Structure 1
Amino acid sequence: MSHGIWTPENFGWIAVPRNRSNVPSAEEVAGMNNEFYSDPMDAWPVTDVTDKARDYAQQHLSKETYNHSMRVFCYGIYIIQHYFPEYHSKDFFETWALTCLFHDIGTTDENMSNTHMSFEFQGGLLALKKLQEFGAHKIQAESVAEAIIRHQDPGETGTVSAMVQMIQIATEFDNMGLQPHLVGREVIESVTARLPRMGWSGCFSSTILKEIRLKPWCHTTALENFAESVAGNELMRPYE
């Protein structure tokens, strides 16, 4: 598959504020036309790399985690379509799909037990290796790895890549219902009908507690009351 010129920006290597000051506020969103005009899965990039990555994810992730990963893709696509037209490119969408598929690969029982590293770091390294084996360009695989490693690294200072910011926003939305103004309820209903949550709030909160129990030094401990926030996701409660 040819991508033409390999431009780092197309793979998400764009510096954006870590504090998300570039993300529309609730007031700004209220003044926009946010009609749900397309199925997010219509934007799924069908390529050799995404085919291999999707097969790998389906083989290694639990059904609950796989559905979460695909919901994150859908919510992120909706957000990109409506608020970030500068990200509209084949390369960005492919990199986004790969990031979503691999972002929780470190939470599998096998991966969590075979390393002392925090799950995001191990997952990033694994994605870097596997995606290059699948044919992804090094620039692209590195963007995915960076996004996975930093996807639980919100904060007020400095910058992150656009791919990091997108995976932070979309995972926090599905996991905790944060920044609900970015995605309409009809989108949630459509996405969860196709990709059921299957009790995801309880499932992922248990995974968080398991990692902290096994690795009390893990990066997840930096997120205050994380397990409680996931378990208490009021936005998604009707869809559990």
Structure 2
Amino acid sequence: MASEDWKLYGFAPVPRDPEVLFKNHPTASGPSPKQDLFVVDDFPLPDTPVVREVRAFAQRELDEQTFNHSNRVFVYGAALVKTHFPEWKFNETPTAVETYALSCLLHDIGTADKFLATTYMSFEFKGAIVARDLILSLGGPEPEADGVCDAIIRHQDIFVKGWVSVISKRVEWEEADIGGRGNITTVGQILQLSTILDNVGLRANLIHPRLIETTTAKFPRKGWSGHFARVIEKELALKPWCHTSTFEVPNWKEGVQSKFATDVRGNDVMRPFD
């Protein structure tokens, strides 16, 4: 690896657990977090050849609701960083912003009809491979393709419990929340925060209501909550081993109502815009 590449493509490590990330945060913690007054047009996608090509590909392969969701995710994440993490210098690094934009456009590509039911892999993993191959085929640099791939693989790596440690060849299992352990890339963390914000409304108070209003006007939800809930249920039925099952009860089996789909359908924050 080129020694400086990781600095350019959003690979800087940040805490994986948002509870750790936001603990005692100067602008994001407490009952009244900072909400800079941004609107959707403050955060256009980078106008670069690879972003234009990838955007066209995503619009071709994804249904309208998922494509619009991908665009909303870019806007919300860019605003979160600008308001609450200016020290990351993320918005000042064109290659990092481009990497994030590509991650947003392609993070759900694995749910497209072409891919979801044609692989045994979880949609995030298949989508990450499709995204990496696509970016490289378009002449994108390998660190960027790797950054997008890593972010997409991990974008639903949330609320996982339990950990395994091997000490003196003895495996121990501890039932514990491992969210507080480990890091993720800045691109990966922003993608997680913005997808969960759009999907279930979590931490929507970190951005201004006007941003949500203008973003949903430009990229309408068109029943996104119900639409994505059905995608979740479809993948669980097709692949009960899939990564999405980590959101479910232990030993989840087909026929048990999906907790994740229920939470998505119960997105009260975004209900007025659905």
Normalising by the residue count of structure 1, what TM-score does the alignment of the two structures yield?
A: 0.92
Deviation (angstroms), 1:37: 4.1
Partner of 2:181: 157
Q: Is the Cα contact below 8 Å between 1:204 and 1:230 reproduced in 2?
A: yes
Unaligned segments of structure 2, at least 5 residues = 159-178, 249-258
Q: Is it true that 1:54 corresponds to 2:88 in the alignment?
A: no
| Distance in 1 between residues matched to 2:153 and 2:33, nearest whole Å | 34
2:211: which partner in 1? 187
**CA offsets per residue over residues 181-234 of structure 1, 9 Å max, x none?**
211211110100111000000000000000000000000000131111101101
2:195 to 155, 165, 171: 171
Q: What does residue 228 of structure 2 align with? A: 204
Q: Separation in 2 of the partners of 1:91 and 1:205?
A: 33
Residue number in structure 2 paired with 1:96: 100
Deviation at 1:44, TM superposition (A): 1.8
Residue 145 of structure 1: how far off its partner (Å): 0.4
Matched, 1:13 2:37: no
Identical-pair percentage: 40
Matches within 5 A, 1:42-121: 42-85=43-86, 86=88, 87-88=90-91, 89-121=93-125
> What displacement does 1:158 show?
1.1
Q: Which residue of 1 aligns with 2:129?
A: 125
Contact 2:128 2:150 in 1 (8 A): yes
- Aligned letter for 1:237? R
What whole-Å deviation, never above 9, does each CA across 1:11-43 have from its counterpart, x for those lacking one? 1101111112223475458364x3314545544
Distance 1:231 1:78, change over 3 A: same
Distance 2:121 2:51 in 1: 26
1:42-99: CA deviation from partner (whole Å, max 9, x where unpaired): 4421001001000100110101100000000110111111112221211111111100
The structure with the greater share of residues assigned to strand is 2
Q: Does 1:219 align with 2:246?
A: no
Q: Which amino acid aligns with 1:22?
A: L
Amino acid at match of 2:236: I
Describe the SS at the equivalent of 2:83.
helix
The unaligned stretches of length 5 or more in structure 1 are none
Aligned partners of 2:10 and 2:187 also within 8 Å: yes
* Aligned partner letter, 1:199: G
Compare the two structures and name the one with the higher helix fraction. 1
For the structure 1 residues 157 and 40, does the alpha-carbon distance in structure 2 shift closer, same or farther, using more than 3 Å as the test? farther
Q: CA RMSD in A?
A: 1.8
Asked whether the equivalents of residues 128 and 145 of structure 1 are also in contact (C-alpha less than 8 Å), the reply is yes
Answer whether contact 1:12 1:95 (CA < 8 A) is retained: yes
TM-score scaled by length of structure 2: 0.81
Larger Rg: 2
